[in-house]
Structures are given as C-alpha cells and as structure tokens.
Amino acid sequence: MIVLGREVRGRADGETVIEGEAELRQGDLVLQADRLSYDPATDRARAVGRVRIRRDGDRFTARELDVQLRTYEGSIVEPTYFFSRIGAGGQARRLDLLGEQRARARDATYSSCPADAPGGPAWQLETSDIRLDFAANEGLAEDARLRFLGVPILALPRLSFPVTSERKSGWLPPSVHVDDRSGIGVAVPYYWNIAPHRDATLTPVVQSRRGVGFDSEWRYLEPAFGGTWRTSLLPADRVDEGRARWSLQATHDSAPQLPWQLNLLARRASDDKYWKDFPRAIDNLMPRLLPVDLRVARAQFGASGEWRAYARVQRWQVLQDSDPSTRITAPYERVPQIGALWMQRLGGGFELAAQGEVNRFGLPTGEDDGLRNTGVRLHGLASLSRPLRSAAWTLEPRVGLNVATYRTDRPLIDGTQRASRIIPTFSVDSSWVLERDSLWFGRALRQTLEPRLFYVNTPFRDQGKVPNFDAAGKDFNFESLYTDNAFSGVDRVSDAHQLTAGATTRLIDPATGAEALRLGVAQRYLLRDQLVTPDGVPFTRRFSDVLLLGSTTMLPRWTLDAAVQYSPEIDRVTRSVLGVRHAPGPFRTWSATYRFARQATEQLELAWQWPLAGPGPVLDAGGQRVSPIEQARRLGPSSCTGSWYGVGRLNYSLRESRLTDSVVGFEYDAGCWIGRVVAERLSTGRSEATNRLHLQLELVGLSRLGTNPLKVLKDNIPGYRLLRDDDDVQP
C-alpha cells in the first residue's frame, strides 16, 4: 500500500490519516480525496471531500466513502459511477459495494450517455433501487422509468436486464412491426436460458388486423447433435375468416465426426397463402416449396475401404397459387431412398468407387394430375480411375458406368411398366499449374497459368421411354463444363464425344496468399452431335458458347467481378453478370450488379451503406470504435451532432420496367444510442408485394426497442457493418 498527501500522520499498527490531496494506492485501486483515513486492523478506508476512485477501469466520484479494501465492501454517498465492463453508469443517492461482482444503488440513474451534456443524458433509466450482479449477469431495477430525450417512453415496476454479453433469462423489450398485410404487430418475447447448451424464446404476438398469436423457438447444442425448432401459431386469423394459421420449422444435425448420422430438415405451413401473408415467417430459399427431409447414415473406414450406408425419406409441401399461370411443378418425393456407397484405393494407384440405391418415387399430396408417372428405380453407379499427380500437373483417366432399372405404376410409352438401360462413360481430365514471380504496378506478385483439358466419350442410348424422376439440365458454367454429364441426377445421361479446353491466370500476393486478379476462359468442342440434351433439341454446333470470367482487387478498396457467356453462332452475349464494389473506409460501402440472360431477364441491383451527414464513426488508433460514452463525448454536447447513414438495396427489372425487391432506410448514430428506420418490399408475385416498416431504437448498454432490421440489412447489403459490434442479429 502507498499513501500520499500534504500531511500524513499515524502510529504503528494504528489508524493512518492523510490530508490535503490525499491518495491511497493498493494494487489496481486508486483512492483520492481531501481527507483519507485507513485502519489496518479492520482494513477499512474512509474518505471525505472530492472523493475519486479508480479500479479495473471503473470510476467513481462521491462526497463520502467508507469501504473495506480486501473484500471491496462498503458504501459511497452521492456518487457518480461508471462501470467499464458495461460501458455505462449514472448517479445515485447512495451506492453500496457488495464485493467485486455486486453493487446496489438507491435513487439512481443509469445510462451510457455523458451525464454532463446540456439537458442531461440523451437516454436515462431512473429507478428507486437498482442491483447489479456481474457474476449472475443480471441488472434489476425497481420502479424503473426510461426517458429518451427527456420524454418518458417506458415505465415498469420491475425491470431485469443483462449487464454483460452473456445470456440471461427474462422478458426482452417489446418489438413492433408494421406491414400492409397484418397491420401493426406487437411482440413481447421471453428468453429462457434453460442451460448453457439449451435455450428458448417464447413470444406472444398481437396483430391489429389478424388477432393474437404465439411464436416459439427452442435451441439445443449437445456434443453429439444440435438443432432448432420454431413454431408460429395464429389460432384465429380475422383476415382469413377466423381460420387457424401456423408454420413449423425444425432442424436436427448430428456431429459430423460421428459414425452414425441423423439429420432432419422440416418446413411446414398451414395453407397455400401462408408464404404471402407471412413472408418472413418461413426461413426457406424457396418459400413455396417446403421439405421434410429425414436422413440416417452410418459410415465406416478401414482396410476394406470407406463404406457409407444411408436411408432417407423426403416429402414436399407445395404452396400453390390460385392463379393457374403461376403454378409450380412439384418435385418427386422419395418414400423411401435406401443406398450404400463404397470407395477403395487399389494397388497400382487405382481408385474404385461404387454406389447402389433403390428409390420409391411418389408425388406430393394433391399434385398427382394423372399425367406424371410414379414408381421404383434401382440404380448403380461405378467408376474406376487412375489419378497421376505431381506438383505442377494432374492427369486422371476414368471409366464410369450408369445402370438403372425401373418399375412404374402407369404404363410407359411402349405400353410396358418396366424399363432398364446401361450407359458407360470414359473421360480424361488433365490440368497444369505454372507459376512465375512478376511485378505489377510496382507490386511483387506471383502469376499463375492454369490450363485444363477435359475429354469425355459417352455413347448414345435412347432414353425416350425411360421415366425421369430426378434428372435436370445443369447450368452452363465453369463447373459444369468439366463434367461428363449435362444432367444432374441419375435418370438422364447425355451422349458425348467432346473436348473442353480452358485456362485461368491468377495474380497472388506471395506473402498473404490473397488473390489480386483472376481471368479465365473456357469452351467445349463437340466431335459429334449431342442427341440427349436438357431442352430435347439435338446440339449440332461444333463449338459451344464461350465462358469468360474476371475478378480483381488490384485497385485499392475496389472489387470488380465479371462473368460472360458469349455465343459465336449469333455473335451476341447470351448471359452476363457484372459487379463492382467500393469500400473506401469503415461503414462506407456501395455495390452495383448487372445481371442479363437473353430472352429471360435483365436486372440491375444497387446496395449501399454510406455516411450522409455528421462526423462519421469515432475510431481509436487501431480502427475500432471507442466506447459508447466516449464516442458520445467526442461527438459533442448536443444529441444532434451524431452521424446519419443511408442503407439499402434496390433490385430493378429492366425487362419489366419495375422495382422488385427493395430495402431502403436510415441509421442515426449518436454514440450512446442508435435509431433505425428501414422500409422493406418483398415481391410475392408479378403484381403483388408485401411492404414492411422496421423502426428500432438501440440504447447502447441497455437494449433495443422496436423491430430488429439488422438481419435484413446484413442479408441484403454486401459488406454491411453493424454500427455496434454484436453477434446477435436475429430478428
């Protein structure tokens, strides 16, 4: 212990008194006052007059103090306090220190805004009694009143809130959402921290047009498995004649390293219009096609090779529109799918792979129109390859076999209900990687040249009478050009006698491995006509379309991307995607993307996050944001000196001359609070859309009020960065 002052007096093993600029230091504790006294018998320090305390970043000023140093227990009279671990503080009539992890304040205020701003903090929680327990991650306020810009916006007899970033059970702030289908909705979620590996969120919901509903989310994460179950229930929808509306979403996944695997993906909704009326309730890439997919697998590795046996059931719910022109074709269900896969490395460097599978294909309920066949397929796939590899090149010849036999429920074209076919394939894949050190614009880079040749020969087999349950044409791109089949699935195998040639060159930073430039070109040459094609029209041109790609980050803070498909036959570009993104600094990014497909679509997409007014982000020397209260101090004494940001994404169809999906909004960052207004338009048809309005007030260090638009912004704006670091951006 060190004591300093203008006058120090005391006696051995007795009380020590320090007066005049008195200071006491012990470890990380610094105590200053006009007058200090310390009693070693009780390890108690007392201070009066301009008392100041610093410990582990926490700061206090007070009129009087009485505290036991070892246990950090005592009382502070009329303190102003700041807890660094939560970046917030306030004033109180009395503050009781109850150890290193607990404190209690009487007639207190709490805020992350500067207390010395004109008119007081921008937001402030006023309470007659507030308890802070950092070990239990709980703040508990009695008779709480929340003021924002001097206006009371919330009053509760008892308010519980977390004081760290750890999870805590309790009621979350209410959220409000507005859309043109359900009206104004209010949700009051309750978070239940069941265990470190389990939690739940239970949410009563009231919608002005539809009525009262209830949402829930259950999450679990065990060492061997994890999953999420979500439900949404509206018992009586006033807009839909009092009908019950609901949705279910469930996932369950086993840990990938375990020999036994159980995986479940389930999506279900109450009716065909659910995806339109509640567009954000179904978290699915295709909201009109809802799966139930259950898989069980068993893997084994040993001297006999790698084995994998599996069984699967896959069903679909198809949400059909009342407009016949917008109906979608339902995929086949697998009820069930049972198979096994075996891979083995043989002597001489040969590799053998084989797969056998039986499937029962059916149609979803209500989708059997009598025109599509159903039935059973038994198929086998086998391949034998001999890869040759070195540091600079690879050569892999491969022989493959596709065998399938069918038994259908309805007669085929030839009047029978059975069919089979055997199709062999031979291919050779060869690629090289050539490197050299080079200098570009004064920058040392490593340049590569990566040519590739792919030859495939598959004889023609007439497959006109064979049913098609799961085959579809692959997209024409750099990946599909180097495959031996133009179809995905098993039921169709394209005949081929062709050679694909391509080359890619890259510029790589040798120090970091970052790619600065990529350019590529590829084209396929047919040695004979291809008769089995995805569109059913024989392909007779010797040269396919040319694929070109390019991407670069050579320009500082710029990213350029391009992919072009050029047709030599019509001397036109048939498809293209062109993109540019500029990110000159923190919270400054914009991007533009142009997508074109001849006779199909033409779209322009713009996205941005950009400061509009104000001083911009307040960062420290390392480029990180300073604490909210320090940022608020630097922004100035007025709450109107914050920073305005524009955010959004617009997707415009040039072909249809209309705006499809869009997100547009503003964010205002005042340091200790953030306001967000975001409007969202989701297209649900050629002439239909759902419009939503997100309003959110984020009180930094306390909570968020309103509707959370952060997931919408992150999903829609490339490079979007939260104005406050936060891992939780769920709706």
What pLDDT, in 10s, does the model give residues 464-489?
A: 889 999 999 999 999 999 999 999 99
Residues 693-697, mean pLDDT to the nearest whole number:
87
Rounded Cα distance between 81 and 64, Å, is 13
What is d(CA 216, CA 201) in angstroms, rounded to the nearest whole number?
6
CA 185 to chain centre: 25
- Please, what's the b/e burial string for 152-171 (b: 16 or more CB within 10 A of its CB; e: otherwise)? eeeeeeebebbbeeeeeeee
Res 239 pLDDT > 80 = yes
Q: Can you tell me the distance from the alpha carbon of 55 to that of 76, in angstroms, rounded to the nearest whole number?
A: 14
pLDDT above 90 coverage of the chain, percent: 48
The Cβ-side half-sphere exposure at 331, using a 13 Å CA radius, reads: 17
Q: Between 612 and 637, whose confidence is greater? A: 612
Give me the mean pLDDT over the 181-199 stretch.
90
- Cα distances from 589 to residues 343, 650, 668, in angstroms, run 47, 15, 17
Which of residues 378 and 42 earns the better pLDDT score? 378
Q: Looking at the whole model, is its pTM more than 0.95?
A: no
The alpha carbon dihedral of 651, 654, 660, 666 has a sign of positive
Q: What are phi and psi of 500, to 5 degrees?
A: -110, 130
CA pair distance 639, 148, nearest whole angstrom: 11
| Amino acid (1-letter code) at residue 703 | S
| Mean pLDDT of the 650-657 span | 90
Q: Over 381-420, what HEC string results?
A: EEEEECCEECCCEEEEEEEEEEEEEEEECCCCCCCCCEEE
CB contact at 8 A, 592 and 604: yes
Torsions phi, psi for 334 (to 5 deg) = -110, 110
Question: Would you place residue 311 in the very low, low, confident or very high pLDDT band (cuts 50, 70, 90)?
Answer: very high
Ranges 29-43, 254-268, 690-704: which has the least confidence: 690-704
> DSSP code of 725?
-
Pairing, β 2-4 against β 7-10:
unpaired
Which stretch of DSSP H or E encloses residue 126? Answer: strand 123-133
Cα–Cα dist 117/123, whole Å: 11
Please state, as a whole number, how many other Cβ atoms lie within 10 Å of the Cβ of residue 8.
14
Report the distance separating Cα 75 and Cα 319, nearest Å.
Answer: 65
pLDDT confidence band for 702 (50 / 70 / 90): confident
At residue 672 the predicted structure's pLDDT band, cuts being 50, 70 and 90, is: confident
**Is the peptide bond between 336 and the residue preceding it cis, with omega within 30 degrees of 0?**
yes
Three-state DSSP at 606 gives: strand
Question: HSE on the CB side for 294, CA within 13 Å?
Answer: 4
Q: Residue 434's closest CA among 363, 503, 357, 534?
A: 503
pLDDT at 382 over 70: yes
Closest to 65 in 3D by CA, of 42, 96, 88? 96
Instruction: Give the single-character DSSP code of 287.
Output: T
Quick one: average pLDDT of 347-366? 93
Residue 730, pLDDT score: 37
Residues ≥6 apart with Cβ < 8 Å to 437: 444, 445, 446, 447, 510
- Chain segment 312-342, per-residue pLDDT in tens: 999 999 998 877 777 888 999 999 999 999 9
Question: What is the chain's length?
Answer: 731
For residue 307, CA distances in Å to 87, 258, 342, 403, 509 come to 55, 14, 5, 20, 41
- CA torsion sign for 270, 276, 277, 278 is positive
Query: CA-CA distance, 609 to 333, in Å (whole number)?
Result: 43
Tell me the mean pLDDT in the region 266-291. 87
What's 270's DSSP letter?
A: S
Q: What is the pLDDT of residue 630?
A: 58
148 versus 577: the higher-pLDDT residue is: 577
Average pLDDT, the chain: 88
Residue 165 confidence (pLDDT): 61
pLDDT category of residue 217 using cuts at 50, 70 and 90 = very high
Higher pLDDT, 466 or 586: 466
Q: How confident is the model at residue 434 (pLDDT cuts 50, 70, 90)?
A: very high
Q: How far apart are CA 631 and CA 501, in angstroms?
A: 57
Name the band, by pLDDT with cuts 50, 70 and 90, for residue 624: low
Q: With beta carbons less than 8 A apart as the criterion, state whether 92 and 79 touch.
A: yes
On whether the CB atoms of residues 314 and 333 are closer than 8 A, the answer is yes
CA distance 217 to 194: 12
For residue 16 the two structure tokens come to 């020590």
SS (H, E, C) 3-58: EECCEEEECCCCCEEEEEEEEEEECCEEEEEEEEEEECCCCEEEEEEEEEEEECCE
Whole-angstrom Cα distance, residue 104 to residue 81?
12
Distance, CA of 649 to CA of 662 (rounded, Å):
6
DSSP-derived pairing of the beta strands 183-187 and 198-207: antiparallel
**So what's the pLDDT on residue 210?**
93
* Tens-place pLDDT, residues 10-68: 877 778 888 888 898 888 888 898 999 888 888 888 889 888 988 888 888 998 988 88
**Both tokens of residue 317?**
């719910």
Does residue 183 surpass a pLDDT of 70? Answer: yes
Nearest to 282 by CA among 232, 323, 345, 328: 232
E strands, 168-242, are: 170-171, 175-179, 183-187, 190-195, 198-207, 211-221, 225-237
Find tokens 């008195």 and name the residue. Answer: 22
- Residue environment code for 690-714, b if the CB has 16+ CB neighbours within 10 A, otherwise e: bebbbbbbbbbbbbbbbbbbbebbe
Instruction: Give the C-alpha separation, 207 to 236, whole Å.
Output: 11
Tokens at residue 172, please? 């979350």
Q: Which two tokens stand for residue 6?
A: 């203008």
Please tell me the least confidently modeled range out of 167-171, 306-310, 559-563.
Answer: 167-171
Q: How buried is 438 (Cβ within 10 angstroms: 0-12 exposed, 13-18 middle, 19+ buried)? A: exposed
CA angle 670, 676, 677 (to 5 degrees): 140
**What is the distance between the alpha carbons of residues 612 and 697, in angstroms, rounded to a whole number?**
19
Look at residue 333 in the predicted model and tell me its pLDDT. 95
Q: What is the pLDDT of residues 393-408, one digit of tens each?
A: 999 999 999 999 999 9
Residue 394 tokens, joined: 């690879």
Report angle CA 181, 183, 187 to the nearest 5 degrees: 115
Q: Which two tokens stand for residue 207?
A: 């919608």
Residue 729 has pLDDT above 70, yes or no: no
pLDDT tens digits, residue range 527-549? Answer: 999 999 998 899 999 999 999 99
**CB of 168 within 8 A of CB of 138?**
yes
Q: Is 581 left (phi over 0), alpha (psi -120 to 50) or beta?
A: beta
